[in-house]
Amino acid sequence: MNQIFSYIIFGLMAIMGGGSSLFIVISLPAVIIWKICRKIKYGYKITD
């Protein structure tokens, strides 16, 4: 019984860690591309 509980906890931790990692992998390039497009189209600074 104790080993099954450990597997369930391990699975939940893997899903939560994978979800946050996936969010970072998708959002970081999206923000960089968005900043570059704003720079080209409107002339804003990249740091704004």
What tens digit of pLDDT does each residue of 12-44 get?
999 999 999 999 999 999 999 999 999 999 999
What is the Cα–Cα distance from 43 to 29, expressed in whole angstroms?
20
Contact call for residues 46 and 39 (beta carbons, < 8 A): yes
Q: How many structural domains compose the chain? A: 1
| Residue 4 banded pLDDT, cuts 50, 70, 90 | very high
* Run of H or E residues at 16: helix 2-42
d(CA 16, CA 27): 17
Q: Which domain holds residue 30?
A: 1-48
Contact yes or no for 12/18 (Cβ under 8 A): no
pLDDT at residue 1 is higher than 90: no
Q: Is the pLDDT of residue 45 over 80?
A: yes
Please tell me the predicted confidence (pLDDT) of residue 46.
85
- Evaluate if residue 48 carries a pLDDT over 80: no
